[in-house]
Amino acid sequence: MTKPQTILAYCDKMFTPSESFIPRGYSAFDRLKPIYIGHTINGPVPEGAEAIDLTPLHGAAGTAGFKQFGIISKQLEAKLKALNPIAIHASFGKSGAYALPLAKRLGLPLAVTYYGGDATKTSNTKNSAFRAYNRRRQELWDKADLILPCSDFIRRELLAKGAPDDKMIVHHNTADPAKFQPGNKENLLVFAGRWSPKKGIDTLIQALTKLGPELEGWTVRLCGNKPEGERDAFEQGLHDQLSASGVNVDLAGWVPADEMPKHWAAAKIACVPSKRAPSGDAEGLPLVCIEAMLSGCALAATRHSGIVECVQDGKTGYLCDEGDADALAENLRKMLRDPDATASMGQAGLALATESFNLQKQSRKLEDHLLRIAQP
């Protein structure tokens, strides 16, 4: 068997728990071997993976010199050349901007994947002399060999900002069907995500309050939390508000990624009420949609970003406009009143996710894309 060739997988903050989709994207590779490079290791290194912290390799210019001015030390250059890489794949636009000088110095093709806010947030799209990404954004798009938006929504966002359409190929996020599977279903509605503006938890709370007693016999489990400092008071107020409305709420707190499968497995309904935040921050294609669908959940979601690319309105769930609590409540009401239809939606979502958002298929497609730019 031919030995896999090396690619440099650049993510400035490596193995962040909420970004487990990055190493998972390489899981079916057999012709290429990713070696992870970046400046911070934020979580456990996956078994068998190789990671290099670039921080001690920058010499006198330091990390700031590398990030801000693209200064590459002889030590760094020699270390990476010795790996004989054939391409660089950067995850997130900012990492792409940091990787650009490396790609030029090493003479390597560069691919960059965009996931959401890196394409939509105002801070990432305005002109700025102080932020490396903003300064290099146009050069990144001009010099990159391949741009991989995680949804067609993100492709359109990038296109509107000047990214070249002929370099873009939509590459959807996926979840692992070996981990996310239906279980013994309960009268359980689950929301999972950071309680940030784009997640739309405020819309969900308004909708649940409108339903109140109609949720009798159901548990609403909210997985996630606010940042430290505002968490306790917010959660207590939230619990009191929903309980007063007759909602049996379970505030599960932050749930590690490896514990989420059991929550989705038991849930009949997943709620994904995402919306564009005032900062411009938006989802790419929320992984919770795919995880929930693989687990046989029906989706109550919004027409936001890539959600419409995976949730089929009336077939695998119901969609409403962003921020429309009345419409979200009505969609949930329909699901509560017709449990057979809701179960059928869950089964339809499982079939769709298994076929169209298959981890093995998508991982092999990514490998094909990277091989294509490395061996034109």
Residue 340 has pLDDT above 80, yes or no: yes
What confidence category does residue 299 fall into, taking pLDDT thresholds of 50, 70 and 90? very high
374: left (phi over 0), alpha (psi -120 to 50) or beta: alpha
pLDDT at residue number 57: 97
Same fold across 5-174+358-374 and 188-356: yes
10 Å Cβ neighbour count for 108? 20
Buried b (16+ CB within 10 A) or exposed e, 112-140: bbbbbbbbbbeebbeeeeebbbbebbeeb
For 260-270, the pLDDT digits (tens) are 999 999 999 99
Q: What is the CATH number of domain 5-174+358-374?
A: 3.40.50.2000
Percent of the chain with pLDDT over 70: 97
Backbone phi, psi, residue 210, to 5°: -70, -35
pLDDT for 76 beyond 70: yes
Q: List C-alpha distances in Å: 361 to 25, 108, 114, 171, 356.
A: 10, 26, 19, 11, 9
CA pair distance 142, 2, nearest whole angstrom: 34
For 142-193, where are the E strands, in sequence order? 146-149, 188-192
Q: Do residues 267 and 188 make contact, with C-beta atoms less than 8 angstroms apart?
A: yes
Q: Alpha-carbon distance 297 to 200, whole Å?
A: 19
pLDDT at 376 over 70: no
Residues facing residue 13 across a β-bridge: 40
pLDDT computed for residue 233 by the predictor: 66
In angstroms, rounded to a whole number, what is the distance separating the alpha carbons of residues 242 and 170? 40
Confidence (pLDDT) at 104:
97
Residue 353 in contact with residue 334, Cβ under 8 Å?
Answer: no
Q: How far apart are CA 165 and CA 156, in angstroms?
A: 9
Element (H or E) spanning 88, and its range? strand 85-91
What pLDDT, on a 0 to 100 scale, did the predictor assign at position 1? Answer: 63
Alpha carbon 343 to chain centroid, angstroms = 26
Tell me, what's the pLDDT at 311?
98
- With bands split at pLDDT 50, 70 and 90, how would you rate the model's confidence at 231? low
32-36, 131-135, 177-181, 234-238: which has the minimum mean pLDDT? 234-238
Give residue 109's pLDDT. Answer: 98
- Residue 74: how many CB atoms within 10 A of its CB? 9
Asked if pLDDT for residue 225 goes beyond 90, the answer is no
The 10s digit of each residue's pLDDT in 14-38 is: 999 889 899 999 999 999 999 999 9
Neighbour-count burial for 212-246, b at 16+ CB within 10 Å, e otherwise: eebbeebbbbbbbbbeeeeeeeebeebeeebeebe
CATH code of the domain made up of 188-356: 3.40.50.2000
pLDDT band at 223 (very low <50, low <70, confident <90, very high): very high
For the chain, domain boundaries: 5-174+358-374, 188-356
Chain center to CA of 195: 15
- Res. 229: pLDDT tops 70: no
For the stretch 304-323, pLDDT in tens is 999 999 999 999 999 999 99
- What span, in angstroms and rounded, lies between the C-alpha atoms of 201 and 206? 9
**pLDDT tens digits, 116-153:** 999 999 887 777 777 889 999 999 999 999 999 999 99
Count of CA atoms in the C-beta half-sphere (13 A) of 279? 14
